[in-house]
Structure 1
Amino acid sequence: MNNPFKFLVRLFVLSLILFSCGEKEDPVTFLVSTTELQFGPAEKTLEVTLTSNQQWQVEMNASWITVIPNQGNGNAKISITTAANYANEIRTTVLNIRFGVIIQPIKITQEAGEPQFPDYYIPADNTGMREISSLELAAEMGKGWNLGNSLEAIGGETAWGNPKVTKELIDAVKAAGFNSVRIPVAWSKFSNATEFTIDPEWMARVQEVVDYVIDNDMYALMNIHWDEGWMQPTFAQQEYVNNRLEKMWVQIALNFRDYNDHLLFAGTNEVMIEGDYGSPKPEYYQVQNSFNQTFVDAVRSTGGRNAYRNLVVQTFNTNIDHGVNFFELPLDETEDRLMVEAHYYDPYEFALREDEIITQWGANATDHSKTALWGGEAHVDAQFLKMKIKFIDQGIPVLIGEYGAIQKKAAENYSFLIDYHSYVTKSMTAHGLVPFYWDNGYAGDYGFALFDRNSREQIYPDLIKAITN
């Protein structure tokens, strides 16, 4: 039986009366209707009533929970929704409501239910999926190369100036010493706007390119790329994005379900709020974490070899520091088959900024007025060490899905590009990370291209050797 006295204590323990300079001020009130919620295994929403005359904010990291709204000023009802839990394990978490220096925890418990399978599910099949750890598979991936600005080009494969991808191009990439190809893909131009049904012809074209890689005994890493920026990490867009993400990944996973473990899926790309490059709000990384969970659940729901496939999930904005500070690994019914992706373009002034001011990098720089004065060798090693400690040492592989520096006009720049790519790639490898050089196919000023995609010839053999060696 509930104790009425305990309930009253719980309800009013956070009601405070503040005094300033000996004068009585208006009471500061912060009340919660409950401090514990219990959910069944099915998706469900429960409400908690807040009584407050001040600002408050919800703090929570569990990707299987959605809270709307997550902050406010004054009285409110917050809706707490749990995703379905059919993983045979009860799960618990604590949701904190912060009011100034006061934190009121709400314990959340969700029961587990018997697994339920959709119509398209087939029993798990490990044929062609070797019994090696994800770290061992990552080590086999070697040096990676990006097929950038092709299949993710808005408007179609050749819309951004590159020719159609050919098997001969992938053969040339393999011959140059790369063993993995990251294939960025945009699906929306070739999908239904309401049901997100992917055009079979586009799916077949993507599959054709994937086969170029797999047939070369290379690893293929395929994602949903920027794709017109519909993956906005806000509570307002969370339900829409997760629904769209799930429907697309189920289709993709079903189409590629029979591929062996040389094919990996990556859920998203650089999920962020455009123009906001600072430390993310809790809302942003909580929603991004939910995208990762939706991706994993969607792929696993298809069964077959996808039950064992290695899946790659992203840090917020694929940023290393955000990964160390805010990333939460999704729950996965398959053990040891998740990898983490981040990107590296430090220092920005040398790697990405299109000017002729910062053209030198590293210990061999001769003119410090032409260096960024940060982002040198010590910074490189420190960033990759963070990822090693946070993930690799815990048995979770890390892919640097993009890195590189643009080619600038200054003649001196080329030697420093070689220094940069040689050192950065060696440091990644030494720390156990898998590098994927970003090649956008553009060989002009401020481009990243290593290969001429028409002739398939190497444009910068010394730069390629700096990476592959």
Structure 2
Amino acid sequence: MNSLVSRFSIVLCSVVFLFSCGEKEEAPASLQLSTEEIRAAASGGTFNLAIASNVSWKVILTGDWVEASPAEGFGDEEVIFSVKENSDEAVRSLDIRVTGGGIVRTLTVSQAAAEPEFPSYHIPADHTGMRDISSLELAADMGVGWNLGNSLEAIGGETAWGNPKVTQALIDQIQAAGFNAVRIPVAWSKFANATDFTIDPAWMARVQEVVDYVVGKGMYAVLNQHWDEGWMQPTYAQQAYVNGRLEKMWIQIALHFRHYDDHLLFAGTNEVMVTGDYGTPKAEYYTVQNSFNQTFVEAVRSTGGRNAHRNLVVQTFNTNIDHGINFFALPEDATDDRLMVEVHYYDPYEFVLKEEGGASQWGKNATDPVRKAAWGDESHVDAQFKKLKGKFVDQGIPVLVGEYGVISRTALSDHEQYRKDYLDYVSASMKAHGLVPFYWDNGHAGNYGFALFDRNTGTQLYPDLIRAIVGK
């Protein structure tokens, strides 16, 4: 009995052994992709992906602009991915997962942005003469600027506000005095056709002559759209009209000056505000004014050529420093690091601008409290410019103080000393905070005037004030 059981056990074990030895061990799951990335052009296309696998797999899509065929299968197979056209001017991408047998593989699909649809007047970007320096470096190279005020923006013609025609000799004297940049205010509404805002070719040519006076000397010229009878009202009611007119005018200006190098800058507007309202702007007002800046930038960039790289100047609401800190929005720009911000500085009003009954003394050297403003001394100057430095300059955005100055008071013998104190301190503080000063000169040399030079001869009327400004 025991012998029989023993023999049976041996046979049974042998049979079990034979069966177990004959079994094929199951291979581990495998899932491999021929690539982990597909790069598609904006136009889209089809792309093949080879899958090597020994299990069932599935393609999991996370976007509607890529399709897979087949989207699932077993074993080795080729999947065709169809990428749709990208009509947006932005790169897009998505991750596709291929799963099977507990394995997850990722395929990244990226697609180029659509090329912008350029207008017929556009030409390819041209770097010629446009130095590879930052906007902050270019602003620093501008040094100290001077305004050709009350000339090309004079309503009625270049000499309508009492100044003679601008000459090369005048600009030569400006440069000799130590200024390296000229801001050129212009009223562009001298139309050959007022219906479609076509600028008179003769006027465009005259503005070019003056620009050439400046850049021909190696100086910087800042060409702007000035007051021009105040048509640029920042209200919802006027927004479409102003943006349309602004766009048409700046396209013409940008095309005419497209061949100039980076010594020419464009400034879109000047002191935009609702006429007569000097208070804190409503959201409507600064929102619309910000749209004017955006329109200007897009209009200039649309022309291509060197304008694709030109430094452009955009303004805060009414070029006010505090409104710039609180309400300004830097426009979007297709070109990196080529925008500058403009403010003006006329504080305190009582000393700087007010004529009858204004303050005649300023600063720490003032001797009569009755004759000076109750605010706006040295500490105020530094505080305002410190705000601009922190908000813009420290973030890589240059700031031009496009206008500042003090009227003369010829009837007061001691006023010129305080005027000098003011210009000396304010100019130095601007430079210390990384700002670019542009003195406002309107050519008027009499009482309550801003003139530093005789516009007829170029002679310096106030050499000491000029030295205070330029730092000589």
TM over 0.5: same fold? yes
The one-letter code matched in structure 2 to 1:184 is P
Q: Say whether the 8 Å CA contact 1:450–1:459 is kept in structure 2.
A: yes
Amino acid of the structure 2 residue aligned with 1:341? E
Which residue is equivalent to 1:264? Answer: 265
SS at match of 1:188: coil
Q: Describe how 1:3-152 pairs up with structure 2 within 5 A.
A: 88-89=89-90, 114-152=115-153
Do the aligned residues in 2 keep the contact of 1:154 with 1:228 (CA within 8 Å)?
yes
Tell me, in whole angstroms, the C-alpha distance in 1 between the residues paired with 2:243 and 2:296.
8
Alignment of 1:14-413 (within 5 A): 88-89=89-90, 114-408=115-409, 409-413=411-415
Match of 1:12 in 2: none
Query: How far apart are residue 414 of structure 1 and its match?
Result: 0.2
Cα shift readout 1:86-142 (whole Å, capped 9, x = no counterpart): 882389xxxxxxxxxxxxxxxxxxxx8541000000000000000000000000000
SS at match of 1:277: coil
TM-fit CA distance, 1:357: 4.3
- Do 1:220 and 1:263's aligned partners in 2 also have CA atoms closer than 8 Å? yes
TM norm structure 2: 0.76
Q: Deviations over 1:238-297 (max 9, x none)?
A: 000000000000000000000000000000000001111111000000000000000000
Distance 1:86 1:392, change over 3 A: farther
The whole-number CA distance in structure 1 between the counterparts of 2:87 and 2:146 is 38
Larger Rg: 2
Q: Is the 8 A contact 1:267 1:295 kept in 2?
A: yes
1:446 pairs with one of 436, 445, 448: 448
TM-score (norm 1): 0.76
Residues 86 and 321 of structure 1: is their aligned pair in 2 closer, same or farther, counting only changes over 3 Å? farther
Residue type of the alignment partner of 2:456: N
Q: Spell out, residue by residue over 1:160-212, the C-alpha distance to the aligned partner (whole angstroms, 9 max, x if none).
A: 00000000000000000000000000011344221000011000000000000
Give the match for residue 421 of structure 1. 423
Percent sequence identity over aligned pairs:
74
Change (3 A) 1:416 1:87: farther
Number of aligned positions between the proteins:
365
Distance 1:385 1:195 in 2: 44
RMSD of aligned C-alpha atoms?
1.5
Letter in 1 for 2:428: K
Gaps of 5+ in 2: 1-85, 93-112
8 Å contact from structure 2 (residues 227, 270) kept in 1: yes
CA distance in 2, matches of 1:394, 1:128: 26
Deviates more, 1:407-416 or 1:263-272: 407-416
Post-superposition CA distance 1:365-387 (Å, at most 9, x none) = 01011000100000000000000
Task: Please say if residues 356 and 410 of structure 1, whose CA atoms lie closer than 8 Å, have aligned partners that are also in contact.
Answer: no
> 2:366 aligns to what SS in structure 1?
coil
Letter of the 1:323 partner, please give it: G
Cα distance change of structure 1 residues 218 and 367 upon mapping to structure 2, 3 Å threshold: same
User: 2:359, 2:296 → 1: CA distance?
Assistant: 39
* Cα contact 2:192–2:201 (8 A) shared by 1: no
Looking at structure 1, the residues matched to 134 and 140 of structure 2 have their Cα atoms a distance apart, in angstroms, of: 10
Change beyond 3 A, Cα 1:214–1:262? same
Instruction: Give the equivalent residue in structure 2 for 1:73.
Output: none
Letter in 2 for 1:346: D
Kept in 2, the 8 Å contact 1:319–1:343? The answer is yes
Contact kept in structure 2, 1:154 and 1:189, CA below 8 Å: no
For residue 386 of structure 1, what is the amino acid of its counterpart?
A: K
CA distance in 1, matches of 2:396, 2:404: 23
Q: 1:165 to 1:86 in 2, by over 3 A?
A: farther
Q: Is the 8 A contact 1:178 1:468 kept in 2?
A: yes
Is this contact kept in 1: 2:236–2:288, CA < 8 A?
Answer: yes
Q: Distance in 2 between matches of 1:423 and 1:238?
A: 39
Answer whether contact 2:225 2:268 (CA < 8 A) is retained.
yes
Amino acid of the residue matched to residue 442 of structure 1?
Answer: H
The answer (yes or no) to whether the contact 1:264–1:310 under 8 Å persists in 2 is yes
Distance in 2, matches of 1:357 and 1:290, equals 36
**Equivalent pair of 1:135/1:396 in contact (CA under 8 Å):** yes
Q: Which amino acid is the alignment partner of residue 123 of structure 2?
A: I
Residue by residue over 1:10-62, the C-alpha shift from the partner in whole angstroms, topping out at 9 and shown as x without a partner, is: xxxxxxxxxxxxxxxxxxxxxxxxxxxxxxxxxxxxxxxxxxxxxxxxxxxxx
Residue 449 of structure 1 deviates from its aligned partner by 0.1
Q: Give the drift of 1:356.
A: 4.8
Report the Cα distance in structure 2 between the residues aligned to 1:328 and 1:462, rounded to whole angstroms: 39
Residue 200 of structure 1 aligns with an amino acid whose one-letter code is P
2:437 counterpart of 1:435: yes
User: What is the distance in 1 between the residues matched to 2:88 and 2:330?
Assistant: 16
Residues 190 and 203 of structure 2 are in contact (CA less than 8 Å); yes or no, is this contact kept in structure 1? no
Cα distance in 1 for partners of 2:275, 2:181 equals 29
Shift in CA distance, 233/87, structure 1 to aligned 2, threshold 3 Å: farther
Residue identity in the other structure for 1:125 = D
Q: Secondary structure at the match of 1:402?
A: strand
Q: 1:465 to 1:366 in 2, by over 3 A?
A: same
Q: Hey, what's the Cα distance between the residues in 2 that align with 1:350 and 1:191?
A: 42
Q: Distance in 1 between matches of 2:87 and 2:362?
A: 52
| SS of structure 2 residue aligned to 1:383 | helix
How far apart are the structure 2 equivalents of 1:122 and 1:308? Answer: 13
Q: Which sections of structure 1, spanning at least 5 residues, go unmatched?
A: 1-84, 92-111
Alignment CA distance shift 1:331-1:376 (3 Å): same
SS at match of 1:204: helix
Distance in 1 between the 2:133 and 2:210 partners? 26
Paired letter, 1:414: E
